[in-house]
Structure 1
Amino acid sequence: MMTNKRTNKIKQNREKNKGKKKKKQSPPPLFQKLCGLETLITVERSLGVVGLAGLDRLLAFQIVHTLSATCREFKVQAKPIAAFLEHLQCQALDPEWLPPASSTSSSETAKFYAAVTKKLEPLAHRLGSSLLAVGHAQLLRKSITHALCLRSRLDASHLNSTLQALDASLLTDLMAHYQDPQHKPYPLDDDKKNILPELSKLLDASGLSEPFQTIYIATEPLSGLSVVLLVLFLLAAAKLDFTPSLATLVMMNKNKYNRSKQLPLDGFVLVVGVHTMLKQFHPAYTRQLLAYLSQFISSSLSGLGTVSSSKQLPTEIPRELSNMAWFIDSFCRVAQLPPPTHFLPLDILRALLPSSPSY
């Protein structure tokens, strides 16, 4: 009898559960803050100022390792397509102020960039994954630098002021020497050779260094680097959307609540990583990349005929062009460079930006 009652109850519960509708699970949020102000406060309380300085050096060594490995891998992976990269640099994309050589209309321009993107996409993806890691590490270093600088100003204001004055005076003397070496002697003789290394350590520990302007490694020329970075920006511009609440480009999917299974792209992180990579090379690499980005915008606009006779842009701007303009603006802000007005008019750049321009 007891077993029959239990079986009847089980059957009744099953029938009730069948009648009930399953509740829909709430989708996970698109954006989750992994490291913010609270995290840095916790790290500072647990490690202290000395621990923060050590963490900053650890991140710097990680960036050095990643950049060195990236340069070595790029040399190996670019060898099979070296002729194609040279053709793009010397013929197809030269000169930068004109549309690509093989394109005379909007369809041909789109086909040209699509073919180049398809050819260089594997190399750009591998390069992008490394640059995203570098960008995250650089942003962490920037946050740690702000925390160290605040602590040095509050706890050791005299030391902070002395380091700033010594750094400025040494830089002034060194620049004066290299501008006129005959009349301006070298300020650091044999007895003062150790001043620069010791000063560099103190500046890093006091938060007076600038991670975005740091040269981490000594590099050799990499042929085709600017072209591959152009393809990387083209791939990112097609996948990202501008979010006003975050003031950056993020990967969004309005229909599904999961991001792409490819690279977890973040616009500003990518810009910082690319800038750090180019900072290790001659400034001509940076100029060439800005020229290629501006060439893409100008050729797309001229090919599509978006600039009317009244010199006004249409109401609907293609997302790729708007994102590319945002990349140029953000890159110039991070690199502390003026906008490339010699390649792209400033009014067009301002009109294409999804947010208010920084100049």
Structure 2
Amino acid sequence: MKVGQMQILRQQIANELNYSCKFDSKHLAAALDNFNEAILSDIKAHYKDPSLPCPKEDNTLLYEITAYLEAAGTHNPLNKIYITTKQVAFFPIVNFLFLIAQLPKLQYNKNLGMTCRKPADAIDWPPLVLGLLTLLKQFHSRYTEQFLGLIGQFIRSSMEQSTSHWRVTSIFCLGCSQKIPEMPADVVGALMFLEDYVHFTKLPRRVVEAHVPNFIFDEFRTIL
């Protein structure tokens, strides 16, 4: 939670710096943006074709431009790697279990988003999402892929169980007027997490649609 709160503060500071830079020196801000885009394009082109030029490790250009970008607020704290980490056994599973343990304490509110069921729990949703996002960012990307895969499996299993229960109930109560059951609250929380994860990381939605059918994402907000 504290990591998520720090990331929110870093984002607010970066936004304020970027606004001030564009207001006080729009030419400097534009030059930094263009220079950054040019370097990133060269690096991407180099990885596609190693024969193309790319700044070497001993070149101080990348370090110097990074300092300027951070001072001007032209960076995303959520995408930054802060520490060097080693492989940790069962790391995605531990993070998944931690998230699933928090979902029963939360509920969706149309006006406020994800809120606590009980005030005593004191779980703040944005720091929770950003904290897990930042933590996973410090490790190999395969950990994030495994983590998202576990959430997708949880959503699919919960939806299948809920649908199967409704079908069995309908068989034994053919004369009853029944509604299709609402989406389980834990599934809503898991889908909200994936939606916010995509939003904050600025990743395409197909990243999570590889684990959760896209029609569930299209429909889950309409039935809330």
TM-score normalised by the chain length of structure 1 = 0.54
Which whole-Å CA distance do the structure 2 matches of 1:189 and 1:230 have between them?
36
Task: Say which SS state the counterpart of residue 148 (structure 1) adopts.
Answer: helix
- Aligned residue in 2 for 1:250: 115
Asked whether the 8 Å contact 2:4–2:128 carries over to 1, the reply is: yes
Task: Say which SS state the counterpart of residue 242 (structure 1) adopts.
Answer: strand
Within the alignment, does 1:219 sit opposite 2:82 as a pair?
Answer: no
Q: 1:185 aligns with which of 53, 70, 73?
A: 53
Q: 1:206 aligns with which of 43, 68, 72?
A: 72
- Aligned residue in 1 for 2:38: 169
Q: 1:327 aligns with which of 189, 193, 200?
A: 193
Which whole-Å CA distance do the structure 2 matches of 1:217 and 1:189 have between them?
18
Which whole-Å CA distance do the structure 2 matches of 1:325 and 1:140 have between them?
25
Which whole-Å CA distance do the structure 2 matches of 1:347 and 1:215 have between them?
34
Instruction: Report the residue type matching 2:217 in the other structure.
Output: L
Q: Which runs of 5+ in 1 are unaligned?
A: 1-131
- Aligned residue in 2 for 1:267: 125
CA, structure 1 residues 355+151, in 2 after alignment: closer, same or farther (shift >3 Å)?
Answer: farther
Q: Which runs of 5+ in 2 are unaligned?
A: 168-178
Task: Say which SS state the counterpart of residue 154 (structure 1) adopts.
Answer: helix
TM-score normalised by the chain length of structure 2 = 0.85
Asked whether the 8 Å contact 1:306–1:314 carries over to 2, the reply is: no
Which whole-Å CA distance do the structure 2 matches of 1:252 and 1:189 have between them?
51
Which whole-Å CA distance do the structure 2 matches of 1:294 and 1:233 have between them?
13
Query: Displacement of 1:245 after TM fit?
Result: 2.6
Within the alignment, does 1:351 sit opposite 2:219 as a pair?
Answer: yes
- Aligned residue in 2 for 1:152: 21
CA, structure 1 residues 322+173, in 2 after alignment: closer, same or farther (shift >3 Å)?
Answer: same
Identity %: 29
Which whole-Å CA distance do the structure 2 matches of 1:237 and 1:165 have between them?
42
Equivalent residue pairs, number: 211
Asked whether the 8 Å contact 1:149–1:206 carries over to 2, the reply is: yes
Asked whether the 8 Å contact 1:230–1:289 carries over to 2, the reply is: yes
- Aligned residue in 1 for 2:9: 140
Which whole-Å CA distance do the structure 1 matches of 2:73 and 2:223 have between them?
31
CA, structure 1 residues 148+355, in 2 after alignment: closer, same or farther (shift >3 Å)?
Answer: farther
Query: Displacement of 1:164 after TM fit?
Result: 0.9
Which whole-Å CA distance do the structure 2 matches of 1:239 and 1:156 have between them?
47
Larger radius of gyration: 1
